[in-house]
Amino acid sequence: MKIKKIIAAVTAIVLIGGAYPSVSAQNSHTTAAYATEASSVTEKGVRYNVYGDYAAAAEVNGELGCEIVIADEIGGKPVTAIEKGAFDAVKDKLKSVTLGNSIKTVSERTF
């Protein structure tokens, strides 16, 4: 009789525990910028993704020299971020990067 109660209790715990969604901390660094649609603008060899109220440097053209300037604004929106891999095409010849004053976030593996 006691075993039936233990089995019933374990079964109830498993069923109740399975009803709650698990939350993974693995993606905790993902920003809202990647969840929304963006338009793309290229200025002076740098492609920017323009979101609702800000822009982010997304890719530097591999044809550019070794000194890169990230704009303060694109289309009247502040450039507040540099996205993952933005400098991949120029990382071997990069000597200097000038960031605008509005930059708040530099993503992992930007360079």
- Indicate if the pLDDT at residue 12 is higher than 80: no
Q: What are the residue boundaries of the structural domains of the chain, listed by start?
A: 31-106
What residues contact 20, with CB distance under 8 A and at least 6 apart? none
| pLDDT tens string 25-61 | 443 334 444 456 889 999 988 999 999 899 999 999 8
Alpha-carbon distance of 57 to 8, in angstroms, equals: 57
CA torsion through residues 42, 77, 84, 68, sign: positive
pLDDT at position 70 is 93
Read off the DSSP letter of residue 19.
H
Distance CA 40, CA 75 (A): 11
Checking if the pLDDT of 75 tops 80, the result is: yes
Identify the helix (H) or strand (E) that includes residue 4: helix 2-19
Model confidence pTM above 0.85: no
| pLDDT given for residue 61 in this prediction | 86
